Structure formats: structure tokens, C-alpha cells
Amino acid sequence: MAVLDLSAYGLTEEQRELAAMVRTFADEVVAPQAYEADRTKTLSMDVVRGMGELGLFGLPFPEEVGGQGGDSVALGLAIEGLGRVDQSVAITLEAGVCLGAMPVFRFGTDAQRGALLPDLLAGRALAGFGLTEPEAGSDAGGTRTTARLEGDEWVIDGSKQFITNSGTPLTRFVTVTAVTAPAPNGGRGEISTIIVPNGTPGFTVGPAYDKVGWHASDTHPLTFDGARVPAENLLGERGRGFANFLSILDEGRVAIAALSTGAAEGCLEAALDYAGSRQVFGQALGSRQAIQFMLARMQLRVHNARLAWLHAARLRDAGRPFGAEAAIAKLTASDAAMDNARDATQIFGGNGFMNEYPVARHYRDSKILEIGEGTTEVQLLLIARALGLGR
């Protein structure tokens, strides 16, 4: 089976056309600027707008709110196609949809949807989701940021870290989780989500992080010091912020699995090309059985990862429970990305240590796929719970 042959995965003609369109955009627009974007740690707004013009930010949303009328499979195909050549661009799309626009669509009022979704779904604006804090990562229920009502305003104090799409020229707002009422017994307090527009007094976007990978992805810490927003900026029902986020997180895990699959595939494509052209002792590197077996295992990982995320996405689109399958997909695909990046770098030898080669960037970028949207250990915990263990 060819690396790019998607015909064996039960996709519709429309889905295959979407995948082909995104892969063409990735190869012709995203890939040529990927190294320079990584080197300068700059997210191209032209690329973001280009994704918007293709309708990628609106893929899983209904047409009546400005979307493309697609589903989770469509979004995953787009993210996978981008992840092949540039994980920073792929995560920009994933976060823009799953963490930026989706909470507004799922839980927002008609007024919030009408004001925010048109630009988000067209790629004219981006939004971040402020969940993680210095002492609340995997245990996001340990949120310490607070929001109290004073008259008709929320007053927000606290900090967030590692927030994607929070400081770009297109960023319109961030949605933050905050404790809106303490627990009466001193336990976990009531957590709600609140929309905070960029430029709000008391809301500061800190300098971009100096990261190991995803250099062109926009990631910042946020601080809130008496930041005031209208009471109607509450997103969803008060006290349901954490529960609502958990439902969003399952969809995000499927999307990250698709991104990871794209990264694993990009490594395989590059390694195949290199093994075919690199001459060692008068023969192509790919003529060596050890290299052939390594490439075969890389193909195996791509195949299994794609099957896993497609299965989870199809369950979600059918309205069936998919939480355990999302965890399986995320774990399978992130492992595939990391393993393929390591093997591709080994095949490239010294060249694999040079950032100008995509496998070097994938090697750095892929580690975060085992951490973000729930660590490997969290996925194992969720899978174990689905088996009835550890309750």
C-alpha cells in the first residue's frame, strides 16, 4: 500500500478530495516556509489566512453558523495533511477549532455565537483556551484562577500557562477556566468558563515561550490582575466549566491523534525518499534489509494510527460514546509520531540532526504530542477506567 493511498480507509469521495486539497496546500504553501518559520519562530499569518480561505477552520461546523457542514473526520483529514509537513501549522488549526471556536459553538449563547463565530470559522480571528496553570495541568480541576461577580462584571485574578493561539495578531479573545465559588467543605470549587477579550485592562499576554519544538506555534503565559469583563461573558452554565471542557478535550484528542498520524507519515515519506537516493558503499541505503524493516515498521505505525483516529472520529460523528477510543487513538498515534521521528532521524544519519531537514523538526516537535491534550499516562488511566479498573 502506498504511503499516501487513502482509498483503503473507507473515505467518501468528498473526504478524499478534501484530503488531496489540503495536502496540495501543505506541499505548495506550508512546506516551503516551514524551515524559515521554525528558525525565526514566526507563525505566518498568510498561511493562517490561507487555511481560512480554504474553509479549514469551519470544517466541523454546520453551514447555518458559517461552517462547512463537515464533521470530525473532515477536520482530522485536514490536520493530518498539515501535520505531515509542519506541526506548528497543524496545531494552530487544531487549537483554533477545538479549543477556540468549538467551546463557543457548543456552549455559547446565540449572541456569543453571532458575535464570535463568523470570524473564527473564516480564519479571520483566532482564540485560545486558558486551562493549564502552574499548579493545574493534568489535574485541571485544581484551578486557582478566580472570578468573582461585582455588580454586572466578572473580576478575574490568576494566571495560565502554555496557551496556544493567545498572542497572534489575529487573536480576538481567550476563554479561561476560573473558580467562581469556593467549595463549602474546602474541596474543589465551582469552575466556570469566561470569555476575556484581548486588550482587556488587567489581562496581560506574556512573552512567547522558548520551546523545544513547535517553534512557529504561538504559545504564551497569561496573567489576570483584576481583569474585568461583562457578566454576559460567562460561557455556558455557571459551574459547568470543567465538565464542559472535558467533553471538548475528547474531541481534541482525536484531532491530536490525526496530527500525530500526519507527523508519523511525514517522517516515513522523508525517510523513504532519503533511503532511495542516499548511496552507501555503492548501493542505495534502502537496499539494506535493516533499513527496509525499519521503514516497514514505520508504515505499520502510520496505518494503525490512522485506523485508530478514524474509528474514534466516526464514533463521535455517529453520536456514540468515544472517550476510550479517543484515548486509544491519541496514545497510539503519539507513540507512532515519536517512534517514526526517531527512526527517520536514524535513517538520515548526521543530516537528521540538521534543522533544515523536516525529520529533525519532527523529532523535536513530536515529543509534545505525548504530553498535550492529556499525557500518555492520562490516556492509559482513561483506558484502564474504560475496562472497569481503578474506580
Contact indicator for 194, 112 with CB cutoff of 8 Å: no
Angle between helices 72-83 and 289-317 (to 10 degrees): 150
Exposure string for 81-112, b = 16+ CB within 10 A, e = fewer: bbbbbbbbbbbbbbbbbbbbbbbbbebbeeeb
Contact indicator for 57, 120 with CB cutoff of 8 Å: yes
Task: Tell me how far apart the alpha carbons of residues 319 and 163 are, in angstroms, rounded to a whole number.
Answer: 29
Q: What architecture (CATH level 2) is domain 7-125?
A: Orthogonal Bundle (1.10)
For residue 30, the 8-state DSSP code is I
143 closest CA partner among 161, 164, 167, 127: 161
Identify the pLDDT of residue 246. 81
Helix (H, G, I), strand (E, B) or coil at 376: helix
Model's pTM, two decimal places? 0.95
Spans of all domains in the chain: 7-125, 127-238, 243-386
Q: What architecture (CATH level 2) is domain 243-386?
A: Up-down Bundle (1.20)
For domain 127-238, say whether CATH 2.40.110.10 is its number. Answer: yes
373 is catalytic: yes
Identify the pLDDT of residue 359. 97
Task: Give the count of beta carbons closer than 10 Å to the beta carbon of residue 172.
Answer: 20
Point out the catalytic residue in the list 251, 269, 370, 373.
Answer: 373
pLDDT < 50 positions in the chain: 1
Instruction: Provide DSSP, 158-194.
Output: EEEEEEETSSSTTEEEEEEEEEEE--TTSSS-EEEEE
Identify the pLDDT of residue 137. 67
Identify the pLDDT of residue 1. 44
